[in-house]
Amino acid sequence: MSDAGPSVGPLTDAQLLDAARAWLAQDPDEETRSELSALIEGAERHHETATAELHARFDERLAFGTAGLRGEIAAGPNRMNRVLVSQAAAGFAAYLLERATEGHTPSVVIGYDGRKNSAVFARDTAELMAGAGVRAILLPRLLPTPLVAFAVRHLDVSAGVMVTASHNPPNDNGYKVYLGDADGGSQIVSPADTRIAEHILRVAAEENVLELPRSEAYEIAPESVVEAYIAETAALASVPATQPTVVYTAMHGVGWQTFSAVLEAAGFDQPTVVSQQIEPDAAFPTVAFPNPEEPGALDLSFETAREVDADLVIANDPDADRLAIAVRDSADPAGYRALTGNEVGALLGWRAAELLDAAAHDEQSASGTLACSIVSSPALRAVATDYGLDFAETLTGFKWVSRTPGIVYGYEEALGYLVNPGTVRDKDGISAALAFLDLASALASRGLSIDDQLDAFAMRFGQFSSGQVSVRVTDLGEITRVMARLRSQPPAQIGGIRVSSIEDLLTNDGALPASDVLRITLDDGSRVMVRPSGTEPKLKIYLDTSSSDGSLDERRSAARDALAALTDGVRSLLAD
């Protein structure tokens, strides 16, 4: 039985040292063993800094939830390391064996990106799964996250594991989990996450990871899996009549090799790459934060785009499940501007609706569902209404978006897009990049640009403007207090516009699962969504306005002015 099992609260200093020593005794990693040994030695000498650091690592444990695991690489249960990953793998294996039907051997496909320890964590998972009696299939090399989501369906396995921290800071890593069979290759949701967590905690409390059964009898997936993904993704685009000039960055991640192969298969020219960022590099040396949404992250892309006079910048995040797009800045001939996730999401949604409409037979109308998260722009609903398609809103996260019945397209404003639900049931930055390039090519063949398409969108569906106010806190209790105040003292107006309704998703009896979200609608149709961040100590407020009256300039001005007033009103509300 392990003494390094889950803690139930703050430890005494004596308990802390016992837990740290027990963890050290089962840690197979020389680097984390060394740093933990130094902390233990410091705490034994009553050094306050070392003791405080051990408390930060051992008083709590990284929780396994619907996003799996994610955290900084270091020793201890509140960090990502080989002990924690081994416990997670063994617990997940127990869950898969528990839910397997009689006579059926459960199976799992495992992928990994280029981050620190990704390959090590993936191999540990494969060995532990195989040792537990689960058929384990390791992808042949570091690959994008969408390849795991694809492989779960393509190989018809019970589950998938992707070792990645997506666009988190350089020293983070994570563990993302998918389920096959009836779940269709989507990320886990409740109650599966709870049951998996229970198994993981049991392993942590009862087992020494060095004594868990391991086996090297796992399989290496054939290259044909990657080739099948490339072929099915390339089929999303038409043969290009016009080739836009493109710059691409992988943000030091793993997207380039696969995206390049997809472009070749689809008949597109290879883009000019941002050479400093094209190869995987776990240190992410050219970006402070490897997230294309972050200020400055696209600076090298813009520099390269100016050098080649590019029409379009395409950026994937490090595991290539997200997509960022930038176009020429009409206000600055030498500049480029990044489109928002809502702008890209709306344009890809319009493209999806157009393709459905064109494919429908004369005697029947197009059918299918366009879906987005509740904090994404209402623009997609307008597209669905115009084309007579179904529309669905989900809770934040692709684990929800991908499960929408009848989905033909889905997105969330945080740069996530699902353009091929028959192939991948998760956001996919590579297939979305090809779909957007296909759109840009079709427009260019008619002498039009992406900005022209945004103008056309505003005139057909209305001008939609979105913004966000984020409040970072040091005390998480402050977020709880703000949400409680908004519920007990709901605002009568925001920014001078009367509040017409407030929907509390924590207590509502609607179609969405309970969630700590407030949806506030104003008399002018504007919307305010308030929710705590699921990954950071932040309160996030999403703002949406729209206008469908007048000329293009009048619509844009009205929506922009309403957004500015709404932003000021929200800041004032939070300051009260």
Q: In degrees to the nearest 10, what's the CA dihedral of 112, 116, 120, 126?
A: -20
Range list of H helices, 178-296: 192-206, 223-234, 256-266
Asked about 166 being catalytic, the answer comes back as yes
Q: Which class for 176: exposed (0-12), middle (13-18), buried (19 or more C-beta within 10 A)?
A: buried
DSSP conformation letters of 438-474: HHHHHHHHTT--HHHHHHHHHHHH-EEEEEEEEEE-S
Q: In this structure, which long-range contacts are made by residues 292-297, counting pairs with CB atoms below 8 Å and at least 24 apart in sequence?
A: 292/167, 292/249, 292/251, 292/316, 292/317, 292/322, 292/324, 292/338, 292/415, 293/167, 293/324, 293/341, 293/414, 293/415, 297/251
**8 A C-beta contact, residue 562 and residue 465:** yes
**CA 511/CA 49 separation, integer angstroms:** 49
Parallel, antiparallel or unpaired: strands 369-373 and 135-138: unpaired
**8 A C-beta contact, residue 523 and residue 463:** no
Q: Which amino acid is at 39?
A: L
**CA 305/CA 313 separation, integer angstroms:** 7
**CA 362/CA 343 separation, integer angstroms:** 31
Rounded to 5 degrees, φ, ψ at 309 are 55, 50
From 166, 186, 376, 546, active-site residue: 166
At a CB cut-off of 8 Å and minimum separation 6, what does 444 contact? 242, 243, 244, 311
Residues with a catalytic annotation lie at 166
